[in-house]
């Protein structure tokens, strides 16, 4: 084997910590090799320590210890109710918007505690953009959809240029440059989703969280979004929740498999990370039998 470029020692440290918690494989990607695509994960962008999420008095996700790589695509997979969406929402404090939700533990973002007392959730969401399952453009023109965020944030600069740059990054510019004033609802589903991605990019974030961004799209639009993610990875870090295992396999560098644990006494279900490793490892030779059974389709 030809050894590829490696420069991921910091990530390796984060891994070894996660490993000691028992939810990462013995030989993760970071142990001296780069991921399958040679992505250089210089340092983790998120470093999660003992993250627990409660809804009311019910524990929804327990004990997540994971370091997510910079300029990498991390996929979260697992059956329904395994807490992957709940977890991704911790990464930009979206759970703050649910009154009963409580996040314990630490989410360190660029070395800072995301849930620290002095952190403004709005500025967090500006740096950490999110794209949802169903495209949700505003009932406005294509142009205004993109300009909305920068205007609210009081972004300086030429708005036409900001809009053009965001649409280009969202791989949408060629499709819509002659109809920027048209209503966004007139676009196809795939275009609307790319508009939502472009809208998030207009705020110059450095992380893009995607919660099942393609599940409402046809295969061609899905392919376009996946190619776009590959491009965006150069400048952004991406975390994607997906029900589509093949999508996780195709696009991601690292994959975390979540599962649901059933408490026999209370009947209560809690999500937890079973295995977190290089995507090619997860799909070729996972360390945990539960991961193997899930990716081979033996259990849902």
Partner 1 sequence: MPVRPALRTRFQEELRTLEDQALGALDMVVSTLDRALEALSHQDVELASIVIHDDDRIDGRFLEVHQGILSLLALQAPVASDLRVVAALLHTIKHAERMGDQCVNIAKLIPLSGHEPPRNKQLMELIEQMGVLARSEVKQAKQAFALRDVEVAEDLVRQDQRINKLNRDAFKLGVEIGTDEDTREWAMHMMLVARALERIGDNAVDIGEQVAFVVTGLFREFSDASRSAQHDS
Give residues in contact with partner 1 (CB under 8 A): 1-2, 36-37, 174-175, 220, 223-224, 226-227, 230, 246, 249-250, 279-280, 283-284
Query: Least distance (Å) from partner 1 to the CB of residue 106?
Result: 32
Q: Of 60 and 76, which has the nearer Cβ to partner 1?
A: 76
Query: Least distance (Å) from partner 1 to the CB of residue 219?
Result: 9
Query: Least distance (Å) from partner 1 to the CB of residue 172?
Result: 11
Q: Of 85 and 222, which has the nearer Cβ to partner 1?
A: 222
The DSSP code sequence of the chain is: --------HHHHHHHHHHHHTT-S-SS-TTTTS--TT-----SEEEEEEEEEEEETTEEEEEEEEEEEETTSEEEEE-STTSSHHHHHHHTTTGGGGSTTEEEEEEEEETTEETT-TT--HHHHHHHEEEE-SS----SSBHHHHHHHHHHHTT--S-HHHHHHHHHHHTT-HHHHTT-TTSBGGGS-HHHHHHHHHHHHHTT--SEEEEESTTTTS-HHHHHHHHHHHHHHTTT-EEEEE-S-HHHHHHH-SEEEEEEEEE-TTT--EEEEEEEEEEHHHHHHS-SSHHHHHHHTTS--
Find the distance separating the first CA and the last CA of the chain, reported in whole Å.
35
Q: Of 239 and 249, which has the nearer Cβ to partner 1?
A: 249
Q: Of 14 and 248, which has the nearer Cβ to partner 1?
A: 248
Query: Least distance (Å) from partner 1 to the CB of residue 104?
Result: 35
Q: Of 136 and 284, which has the nearer Cβ to partner 1?
A: 284
Rounded to whole angstroms, what are the CA distances from 248 to 20, 75, 243, 279? 25, 6, 8, 8
Q: Of 65 and 252, which has the nearer Cβ to partner 1?
A: 252
Query: Least distance (Å) from partner 1 to the CB of residue 285?
Result: 9
Q: Of 175 and 275, which has the nearer Cβ to partner 1?
A: 175
Query: Least distance (Å) from partner 1 to the CB of residue 167?
Result: 13
Query: Least distance (Å) from partner 1 to the CB of residue 176?
Result: 10
């Amino acid at each position: 084997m030809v050894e590829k470029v490696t420069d991921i020692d910091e990530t390796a440290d984060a891994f070894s910590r996660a490993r000691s918690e028992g939810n990462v494989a013995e030989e993760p990607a970071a142990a001296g090799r780069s991921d399958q695509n040679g992505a250089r994960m210089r340092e983790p962008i998120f470093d999660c320590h003992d993250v627990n999420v409660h809804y009311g008095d019910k524990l929804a996700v327990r004990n997540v210890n994971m370091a997510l790589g910079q300029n990498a695509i991390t996929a979260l997979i697992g059956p329904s109710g395994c807490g992957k969406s709940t977890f991704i929402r911790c990464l930009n404090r979206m759970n703050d918007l649910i009154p009963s939700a409580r996040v314990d533990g630490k989410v360190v973002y660029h070395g800072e505690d995301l849930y620290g007392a002095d952190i403004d959730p709005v500025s967090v969401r500006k740096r950490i953009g999110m794209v949802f399952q169903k495209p949700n453009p505003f009932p406005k023109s294509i142009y205004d959809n993109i300009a909305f965020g920068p205007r609210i944030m009081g972004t300086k600069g030429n708005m036409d240029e900001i809009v053009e740059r965001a649409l280009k990054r969202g791989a949408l510019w060629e499709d819509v440059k002659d109809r920027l004033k048209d209503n966004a609802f007139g676009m196809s589903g795939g275009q609307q989703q790319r508009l939502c991605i472009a809208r998030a990019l207009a705020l110059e974030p450095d992380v893009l969280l995607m919660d099942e961004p393609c599940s409402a799209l046809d295969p061609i639009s899905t392919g376009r979004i996946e190619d776009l993610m590959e491009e965006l990875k150069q400048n952004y870090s991406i975390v994607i929740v997906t029900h589509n295992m093949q999508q996780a396999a195709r696009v991601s560098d690292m994959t975390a498999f979540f599962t649901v644990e059933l408490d026999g006494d209370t009947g209560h279900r809690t999500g937890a990370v079973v295995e977190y490793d290089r995507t090619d490892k997860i799909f070729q030779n996972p360390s945990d039998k539960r991961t193997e059974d899930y990716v081979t389709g033996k259990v849902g």
